[in-house]
Amino acid sequence: VPALVAAVADYTDCEVKLIPGGSGISGEDNRPAVPGYKVEKKEEHEEAVKLVLTHMGCDFLSQGVEVTYSGNLTAVSGIGASAAATVSLARAVATAQGKTLTEEQINQAGYEGEKGYHGTPSGIDNTAATYGGVLRFQRTEGDPSFVTKKLKTPVEVVYASTGITASTSKVVADVRSKKEADEAWFAGLIGKYEQLVAKGETALDAADWPELGQLLNENHTLCQELTVSCKELDTLVDAARAAGAIGAKMSGTGRGGLMLALTPGKESQDKVAEALLKAGAAQVWKTTFA
């Protein structure tokens, strides 16, 4: 199914050093993160690193590989932190190997790494992390299809964390079991979702923010029906709307993680951000999509 995605300006950086005569993977993860994220994701993160290194032909058995992460993107469920990490690792490995890779090759390496976190990733997060901007993305039987969108006018957005770290692979597995238990119900939700995406793309292209905001609200309702929202997300979504956001929804895996609010204008953005903090958000960020 198609989806609309926007990359934030914050970033994850990575440095890789190849150590002749050494063996194994070492390094540090200096990314900012919500409490518990790195512990919860430790095994998935380590597997993702191995998958990227293996895909890129970077032998970590007959040489040492030191991987150091930094940057200002907070590692939190729902923001695409895992994709930012795998894509930045792919770029760093290429630099260490003295190779010049295309963005497509970097994206593919990032996708391989995402398998460590998600099992069967859609490819949307690593694509957004690789190319940036606002994209229309669709997974296909072959290579994914995506189109870069250029907004007529920039728009302010607020996103906030519940502080809960969710396991994407576990949530995906649970949704898959619900789908298998009631195919008709799931097909009905997908049909509604596809209509929302089509309308959302039209509103996005026209910079019709009130219409897009309403569609975000409807999308959140579908996420609730799919059981991937939770009371903490719903509380933040409701608080954002009450403070003047013209639309708000959960983001990413759900059952924790992030929500986002559409807040055209700096005044609205500041007001909604303050309201989300008062409503109990673990962290709040402000950005602009352009």
Find where tokens 């949704």 sit: 175
End-to-end CA distance of the chain: 24
Q: Is 10 annotated in the active site?
A: no
Convert the pLDDT of each residue in 27-85 to its tens digit: 999 999 988 999 999 999 999 999 999 999 999 999 999 999 999 999 998 899 999 99
Residue 92: enclosing H or E segment and its boundaries?
Answer: helix 81-97
Please check the confidence at residue 25 and state whether its pLDDT lies above 90: yes
pLDDT value, residue 78: 87
Integer Cα distance of 194 and 1 in angstroms: 7
Neighbours of 68 (CB within 10 A): 15
* DSSP of 135-154: EEEE--SSS-EEEEE--SS-
pLDDT value, residue 80: 92
State the average pLDDT for the chain.
Answer: 94
Answer for the pair 151, 289: CB distance below 8 angstroms, yes or no: yes
Give me the catalytic one of 125, 143, 174, 208.
Answer: 125
pTM score: 0.89
Find where tokens 């995605």 sit: 5
Question: Which residues pair with residue 4 across a beta bridge?
Answer: 136
Greatest Cα pair distance, the chain, in angstroms, is 60
Convert the pLDDT of each residue in 115-125 to its tens digit: 999 888 889 99
Answer for the pair 247, 273: CB distance below 8 angstroms, yes or no: no
